[in-house]
Structure 1
Amino acid sequence: MNPRARPRSTNGQFAKASSTPLSSTSTMATTEQLQEELANLKAQYGELKQLYQENLANASAPAPPPPAAPNIDELERVRSMLSELTKKFEEASSRAPQNTGRPEETGGVPPFIPPPHHQRCAAHITSIITHDFRGSDLYKLDSRYRDKEAAFTFNGSTGQFETSNRAAKEYKTFDMLYIPLVAYFSILSAHLPGQPTVPLVFFKFLVHLQKLARDYEWAAVLEYSIIFFNRRRMEMLESGDYSHWALPDNGLMAEHIYAHRKVTIRGSGSGAGSRGGASTLKPPVVCYNWNQNKCSGSAKCPSGRTHVCSTCGKADHSLVDHPKST
């Protein structure tokens, strides 16, 4: 067969040769790909060459010398010094005075601070001077009862603080309550250097409380003092008023004090405690109903209480009929 022969069509005629030239697009695309691959190979070769040179330099560098063995004697000497310093620090800390929580005074004459303040928690002092310290917290200022439960309980039905059984056993007298009260007033006075007359009202309250403790039953006086304390605290907190500490609360006294006056009855003079007919003092319980003209017994109280005036102690009249002072 002649290679130059023209191809024939299906009908036997010669097919017409195509006049369209071959496109060079595929050839150009192949050239660009080869150039890109060549550039990538050159970049990889440069990176490998640099890495080889770095490894060669590291291999030729001298190895670092091995670490020297530790000096056992030197370590023991340092440990001994640290132990001695720690011991001296602990001894110095145990002898150092406790922090009082008060900032140092930098100028002028500082207010007087009684020594017991240095043994009290700074939180208590802050609570006192901000008037958040309540009457039920007074035991915290007394080292005898500081670590025990609160000496007073809050009665939710009446909205008042009442003495608990523990308080009746520990705060038996005015003198026992006097200690935390003086501590409270001294802390408060020390932080009021610009009001020199304020401590006077505190002293008047202590005198008033002492007179009540002398003439009335202590359980009633203790309850009165705590409620009185909380009312004055609210006045100091809300309006900065300290004056009412010096004024007896007559309404509060009528509710808690007057019906519990101490009455002295002379005994028969017999017994080991009496000598030569000396009198024995017995504080009976005053009948509160009789003082309000409500007791069912006229001559003798059915409850065994004493029918005397709760204000003056006389038996010829009750509290309702007590002469009004003009």
Structure 2
Amino acid sequence: MPDDPAIILHHFDESPFSEKIRLIFGLKSIAWISVRISRIMPRPDLMPLTGGYRRTPVMQIGADIYCDTQRIIRELEHRFPAPSLFPGGNEGLARASAMWTDKSFFQNTVNLVFGSLADKVPQSFIEDREKLRGAKFDIAAMTAAIPQMRDQYRAHVGWIETQLAGGGPWLCGVAPSLVDINVYMNIWYVRSNLPVADEMLAEFPNVRAWEARMRAIGHGTRTEMSTAEALEIGRISAPQTEEAGNALDPNARKVGDLVDVRPDDYGKIAVRGRIVSLSAQSIAIRRHDDIAGNIVVHFPRAGFLVTPAV
């Protein structure tokens, strides 16, 4: 789709959630612009665009800002439908798989990785993540829990092995799907950080072969841009989102309502704006920033709270 505006991803290379999106770029052969952000705050050129949302990654298309991998993936599938992320159907289950891979599986993986890295984790990173989580980022407790985390990681990987043993080369059959993308994030994160990754996968031959196939997908065509350049693109662009209400909204929300949107688990920073569009799966709010100008910020509904602004 060469006439479309540029796809800009604000990310850092070590981010497992960003790896999901980079793999989709590879699977769909998308040319994209990489804007590398700091792993920790501050992010002075990104916050004006997101309104304070600070989880990674964020996708930008002009003055439309897409937060959370759920919403980014939905937009990429809409704009680049081939090859599909749902080659065998089962779209609902494939999308819902993120509630496993991004929450319980990922939390297990995070504890295993940071517990193993222990004193190699910078204090600045720990302090940043404590602010993000609103709770102690307890490296000592993670280290003490390594035996339990290895047990649980093995159980998760065992499910992947079982699925691969009973089907084709991919988790849902003969072609890669969103389920593969969601699951791979955690395998990639351990591989990227722990030298014992081979040891931990030794008993899972199907997973090891699948991991190699996933790695071979690549990241599409990547070029680099500065954070300042991306902010300027947002400032001079106009949002392209059309107004769209939803008569079936269970809380009778409507276009123009002033609301706060925040994650329901961590990084609970409210982004305030007026509803532009909403559906069962997505909500977009319009906001004005003195630096970024007029912006529309897009969120998923699952995993996010929408409350009236007070």
**TM-score by structure 2 length?**
0.22
- Which structure features the higher share of strand residues? 2
User: Radius of gyration: which is bigger?
Assistant: 1
| Higher fraction of helix | 1
